Structure 1
Amino acid sequence: MISPLPDLLIAPVVRAALAEDLGRAGDVTAQACIAADARLSAVFATRQPGVVAGLDCARLAFAELDPTVRFEVVAPDGSHAAVGAVLARVEGNARAVLSAERTALNLFGRLSGVATLTAAYVSAVAGTQARIVDTRKTTPGLRHLEKYAVRCGGGVNHRFGLDDAILIKDNHVAACGGVSEALLRARLACGHLTKIEIEVDGLDQFDEALRYTPDVIMLDNFNLGDLATAVRRAAGRVTLEASGGVTLTTVRAIAETGVDVISVGALTHSAPVLDIGLDAA
């Protein structure tokens, strides 16, 4: 079971999306065509196979416009759904359901797409020790939701923001004057609960970083041979993260080098929306 996000974290995103769609006058189509007291029942169903994520976004979209709406989950977040599978049912004021429909589908489809792509990467490395993790390459304002969707797909979250951990990237190294200086400064500055990761772009930098045994070394755009060499040299002393241009075609070979973590920006910046429909029942 995937631990759900509190409504408190989801509701502001849903409200902002609804406000954007309703504009200055509300849903003039529903107001013109639908009786104020009409009721509507509808079902969410998949039009392609995928992994479910974002049901609470859909539920809250309807509840914002009709607090008495009934929303029944059929396939919970994290479920693998076949084409045509019913994911949820909604019943409520017809104007409210129709006005919230697009907001519900936009968020639901987006998050399910992230979960579906994540699941494909996780499946591709099955049987290895590598874990698939996300990055900060997320849609502004949706990071907590997209990272939740990664978890629904079987992936693991990297840091959420700049305040989670120290991650020394190549530009930090350049600004500090080198790997050793950057790691020394980080050790002096961080508290005992703050992890330190450093990105390196070659085996020379890797060997230099390894002498300081940071918590994690990110191997940026290493070829397979150098990844395997780094794994042998680290001998389990630090966590090794492979990163840079990872695709579904290349991820298995990367995992088989023995790295611990593979970070994939595509999980959130390139996931296609899962095609989900809302149809009157």
Structure 2
Amino acid sequence: MNDCALSDEALTRLLADDVPAGDLTTETLGIAAAPARTEFRARGAMCACGLEEARRLFELAGATRCLAFAGSGSQVAEGALLLSAEGPAGALHRAWKTAQNLVEWMSGVATAAAAIVDAARPLAVACTRKNVPGTKALSIKAVRAGGAIVHRLGLSETLLVFAEHRLFLDLQPGAVVRRLRALQPEKRAVVEVGDVDEALAWAAAGAEILQLEKFPPPAVAALRERLRAAGFTPLLVATGGVNALNAAAYAVAGADMIATSAPYNAPPADVAVRFERLGNGARHV
């Protein structure tokens, strides 16, 4: 995963958001033209992500040389060198904090996704569209870097019937499924359910996928047994409150897949930034 998720135009907007009218401190001190170098290092083990975007941010800001030493999805150890950039101090200061924030946030999401994926094996872990608005491209890149897949990119992609939809329907479950199949024959009917009886009703109606909202693992196991006894075979997706601590229990209980938004709420990874003054009187901080 070595491509930037954002265009140069979008990355330039991120820089402009942090430096809307110049870097007041750097310019006032008269150090913008001083030759400099900066390094990003991991303060702890992490699944790295966002270094492609960070490298490009430094380049767009005017760095003369920038190297990323880990691609998105790489597992890195504490102290690992992630990125280095050289150029005028003003260029490096302009990009530094935006790039650091991006790498820390995306690596935090990727690391959390990787933890759930590891705990849930062999189940697939799909991350939902419940990311912070405006961050979809970066969020999707981060969860994929952690080994997760995408649940649905948006409302235009899949048929997923919530209770909030059914509130406005005067149709029985079987009629709802028949309507979905008639009007969208290439799509599978996915229905979110809140308890075992509701799940059995929609399975009997022919729903191919049941999204089990906040079912604890014992309820998933009980539903699987009742479905097996009735001869129904819908795909069971555990969602709502699933994380790295309980993902394995859902796999044992009989879920076929996990859908989660937990990685989006993960704390950022910790990235150390070090600056070095190049040339005569070289120093670093």
- TM-score calculated relative to the size of structure 2: 0.87
Q: Hey, what's the Cα distance between the residues in 2 that align with 1:56 and 1:117?
A: 20
- Equivalent residue for 2:22? 26
Is the deviation greater in 271-280 or in 204-213?
Answer: 204-213
Structure 1: gaps (5+ residues):
none
Q: Hey, what's the Cα distance between the residues in 1 that align with 2:92 and 2:154?
A: 35
The alpha-carbon distance between structure 1 residues 236 and 87, as it changes in their structure 2 partners (threshold 3 A), is: farther
- Greater Rg over alpha carbons, structure: 2
Q: Secondary structure at the match of 2:150?
A: coil
- Equivalent residue for 1:221? 214
User: Offset at 1:261?
Assistant: 1.0
Asked if 1:241 is matched to 2:241, the reply is: no
Alpha-carbon deviations, 1:18-67, whole Å to 9, x = none? 111112x211112123444322211110112211000122012112221x
The alpha-carbon distance between structure 1 residues 10 and 228, as it changes in their structure 2 partners (threshold 3 A), is: farther
Alpha-carbon deviations, 1:153-176, whole Å to 9, x = none? 111111011111111112112222
Asked if 1:57 is matched to 2:53, the reply is: yes
Asked if 1:279 is matched to 2:274, the reply is: yes
In the TM superposition, 1:153-168 aligns within 5 A as 153-168=146-161
- Equivalent residue for 2:99? 104
In the TM superposition, 1:155-234 aligns within 5 A as 155-177=148-170, 178-192=172-186, 194-232=187-225, 233=227
Is the deviation greater in 257-266 or in 233-242?
Answer: 233-242
Q: Hey, what's the Cα distance between the residues in 1 that align with 2:237 and 2:164?
A: 18
Amino acid at match of 1:221: K
User: Offset at 1:12?
Assistant: 4.2
Q: Does structure 1 retain, via aligned residues, the 8 Å contact 2:117–2:124?
A: yes
How many residues align structurally? 272
Is the deviation greater in 182-191 or in 44-53?
Answer: 182-191
- Equivalent residue for 1:259? 255
- Equivalent residue for 1:43? 39
Amino acid at match of 1:190: Q
Structure 2: gaps (5+ residues):
277-285
Q: Hey, what's the Cα distance between the residues in 2 that align with 1:239 and 1:77?
A: 31
Q: Hey, what's the Cα distance between the residues in 2 that align with 1:236 and 1:80?
A: 41
- Equivalent residue for 2:127? 134
Asked if 1:70 is matched to 2:59, the reply is: no
Q: Secondary structure at the match of 1:218?
A: strand
Alpha-carbon deviations, 1:117-140, whole Å to 9, x = none? 1111122223xx322221111011
Q: Hey, what's the Cα distance between the residues in 1 that align with 2:57 and 2:185?
A: 41
Q: Hey, what's the Cα distance between the residues in 2 that align with 1:200 and 1:45?
A: 45
Q: Hey, what's the Cα distance between the residues in 2 that align with 1:167 and 1:77?
A: 31
User: Offset at 1:75?
Assistant: 1.8
Q: Hey, what's the Cα distance between the residues in 2 that align with 1:140 and 1:5?
A: 22
Q: Does structure 2 retain, via aligned residues, the 8 Å contact 1:34–1:95?
A: no
Amino acid at match of 1:180: G
Q: Does structure 2 retain, via aligned residues, the 8 Å contact 1:13–1:142?
A: no
Q: Hey, what's the Cα distance between the residues in 2 that align with 1:36 and 1:223?
A: 57
